[in-house]
Amino acid sequence: MIYSALAERIRNNKPVVLLTVIDGPNLGATLLASPNDSKLDTLGTLGDPELDRVAVRDALGELEAGRTSVRNYGPTGQVTPEDLTDTPIVRIFVESYSPPPQMIIFGAVDFTAALARVAKVLGYYVVVCDAREVFATKRRFPMADEVLVTWPTPVLAKLGDNLGARDAICILTHDPKFDVPAIQGALATKVGYIGVMGSRKTHAKRLERLAEVGISKPEDLDRLMSPIGIDIGSRTPEETAISICAEIIGKRVGRIVPSLSNSDGPIHK
């Protein structure tokens, strides 16, 4: 029962953590915990409701970090079991399954293949999306996990709810027909990184178009990394891919990186 629920979560690429008693009373008892949008699903028990509560709380932290570990408790969830005398210590094996972070790339251009290749090294699940079916082909992007021939709005309506701090949306089209709805859709999600390609001039024009569709709040515009990437003088698509991924890494851990979006002057000197 627990294992079929575990298998189902993994099959559906949802985060899940399995707790197993490997020492102490109730040896072999298992508990499955999976955050499901805002609520928490649990299945099984470690033998004590308070132990369940404390161990699940800790396990969700491990899951968030993608870690598998062993934790020690008292039989009713005491967190400093070394202090207990005459009671057995319960050792819990915590196994995390975190699905890979996602990167959705809008625009099936030359930069896309290079970015997808570097993103794969970083472990992303990569989705390439473009409305032009001659460009958005699996043959052109064999390294992508999915290549979708469609518009940004339906893609983000479908995938948007699953996007969080670890995920990234990169908008590499230069076509307002495509990038305005992509930005609108991206801002409606909790995605951690939104990068938008284009020169400083393109970015200025794009801001006007965004204002026309009602996007002008500073907290929204601040989320847009545009021009995309950090200022390392990238010239080729491959170098640009490095500059984008460096920006994503730096932004996720809260580093101040020399983002092109925070500076002025020419991108190519």
Residue 16 lies near its own copies (rule: CB under 8 A): no
Q: 48 Cβ partners below 8 Å, 6+ apart? A: 75, 76, 77
Closest separation between CB of residue 256 and its own copies, Å? 8
What spatial distance separates the first Cα and last Cα of the chain, rounded to whole Å? 61
Q: Which stretch binds its own copies (CB under 8 A): 9-17, 113-121, 164-172, 178-186?
A: 113-121
Asked if 43 is part of the footprint of its own copies (rule: CB under 8 A), the reply reads no
- Residue 266 to residue 260: CA distance in whole angstroms: 9
Restricted to residues 219-258, the positions that interact with its own copies (CB under 8 A) are: 230-235, 238-239, 241-243, 245-247, 249-250, 252-255, 257-258
Q: Name which of residues 120 to 159 contact its own copies (CB under 8 A).
A: 121-123
Give the shortest CB-241-to-its own copies separation in angstroms: 7
b vs e for 65-79, b when ≥16 Cβ sit within 10 Å of the residue's Cβ? eeeeeebebbbebbe
The helix/strand count (H/E) of the chain reads as 8, 11
Contact 189, 163 (CB under 8 A): yes
Q: Using the rule CB under 8 A, which residue among 117, 140, 174, 223 binds its own copies?
A: 117
Q: Does 170 bind its own copies (CB under 8 A)?
A: no
Nearer to its own copies, 67 or 91 (CB): 67
For its own copies (CB under 8 A), the number of binding residues is: 29
Residue ranges in contact with its own copies by CB under 8 A? 114, 117-118, 121-123, 230-235, 238-239, 241-243, 245-247, 249-250, 252-255, 257-258, 269
